[in-house]
Amino acid sequence: MTLQMLLTALCGAALLGGLFAAVAGLVGWADRESARRRGPLERRAVRLWLRATQGGSVSGTRRLRALGVAALAAMVVVWAVTGIPVAGVIVGITVLFGPALLRPGGNATKAIARLEALEHWVRRLGSIHEAGISLEQAIVRSLDTVPEPIAEPVTTLARRLTAGWRPADAYRALADELDDAAADSVCALLWLHANDHSSGLSQALLRQAKSTAEQVEMRRKIEADREKPRANARWLTVMCLGVFAVSLATHYITPYRTPVGQAVMAGLAVAFVAVLGWMRRMAALKPAPRILDRTTRTDSAADRQAGFEEAGR
């Protein structure tokens, strides 16, 4: 390795390290528990990054840390071996966003699992409340059997209720954390009971659980139909990355060592990402609008009450 190649590799490492440090400074290194104490803009940045790279995984910050180190190492090695800065950067970015490239349906799968867990929890909640226990006490008692995909938001809900939060505000916060139109129907039902304490909540919860189960079945069928274009995108990604890796190890990479060749390589990489984004958009469905979205909180009390009653039916 010549001195020029070594300096080039060090400059590349500094470039990717600075980029990764900037992302880490925005996202932070803390786990999910401490991330909740951040501001709303920072929490949104965390969620967007985790969705893009880890499919919404709760332990995504640890994986992000490991991926960042692996991406930095891969970039330095490829840059030093080939002497092509653009190739090193492409490999580093590929390693960093590898899970998002190879698992385009991770978000939908986790959303279905979370919704199914919500259905089981609501059914259990209705059974506990039917024994004559108040809703807030039933929520606390349900912590022993709450399914893992929603264990964290439900535990947070129970803590807020025992800490003295207004039940209506706690249920709204739960809806924000679940961030799903189907989950809003459940939270709206809880919100209605917190405001009027009407009877028949157990039966309403069981009916809502049945409706949620139907939503889960419908989403599974939709995801099965969407799996084919996702599989096509996955195989296209693997083949293109394989061709790129073979090119780096052979003489076919020689024309890209010039500045013009590196510009062409960068343009091809951008075009490839654009095609993947287009294919992913074709396989994606626009999520149903939420009825408890933050943007609706400026509506009048009468409008909100009408919306909640509509969701509770």
DSSP calls for 224-284: HHHHHHHHHHHHHHHHHHHHHHHHHTSGGGGGGGSHHHHHHHHHHHHHHHHHHHHHHHHH-
**Residue of 140, 6, 20, 181 lying closest to 81 (CA atoms):** 6
Tokens (6 digits) for 173: 């916060």
Q: At what angle do helices 60-82 and 40-54 cross, to 10 degrees?
A: 60
Q: Supply the pLDDT for residue 308.
A: 42
Q: Supply the pLDDT for residue 27.
A: 45
Tokens (6 digits) for 306: 């009408």
pLDDT for residue 304 is more than 50: no
Q: Supply the pLDDT for residue 300.
A: 41
Q: How many CB atoms lie within 10 A of CB 14?
A: 10
**Residue of 235, 224, 257 lying closest to 86 (CA atoms):** 257
* Helix H or strand E encompassing 34: helix 32-35
Grade residue 197 by pLDDT with cuts at 50, 70 and 90.
confident
**Residue of 215, 273, 233 lying closest to 97 (CA atoms):** 273
Q: Which residues contact 301 (CB under 8 A, 6 or more apart)?
A: none
| Sequential DSSP letters for 263-278 | HHHHHHHHHHHHHHHH
Q: How many CB atoms lie within 10 A of CB 192?
A: 20
Q: What is the CA radius of gyration of the chain?
A: 24
Q: Supply the pLDDT for residue 150.
A: 93
Q: Supply the pLDDT for residue 60.
A: 56
**Residue of 113, 121, 112, 107 lying closest to 50 (CA atoms):** 107
In degrees and rounded to multiples of 5, residue 197 shows phi and psi of 50, 40
pLDDT for residue 200 is more than 80: yes
Helices (H) and strands (E) in the chain, counts: 14, 0
Query: Around 235, how many Cα atoms within 13 Å sit in the side-chain half-sphere?
Result: 5
Q: Supply the pLDDT for residue 74.
A: 87
Task: With 0.75 as the threshold, say if the pTM is over it.
Answer: no
pLDDT for residue 158 is more than 90: yes
Grade residue 213 by pLDDT with cuts at 50, 70 and 90.
very high
192 neighbors 92 (Cβ within 8 angstroms): no
User: Of residues 54 and 184, which shows the higher confidence score?
Assistant: 184
80 neighbors 13 (Cβ within 8 angstroms): no
In degrees and rounded to multiples of 5, residue 81 shows phi and psi of -75, -45
As a whole number of angstroms, the distance between CA 166 and CA 179 comes to 20
Across residues 245-267, what is the average pLDDT?
86
Across residues 283-294, what is the average pLDDT?
72
Q: Left (φ > 0), alpha (ψ -120 to 50) or beta: where does 186 sit?
A: alpha
Residue 299: what residue type?
D
pLDDT for residue 294 is more than 70: no
Q: Supply the pLDDT for residue 119.
A: 93
Residue 153: what residue type?
P
Instruction: Kindly state the percentage of the chain with pLDDT values over 70.
Output: 71
Grade residue 2 by pLDDT with cuts at 50, 70 and 90.
low
Across residues 162-169, what is the average pLDDT?
90
As a whole number of angstroms, the distance between CA 309 and CA 44 comes to 29
Domain boundaries, the chain: 107-225
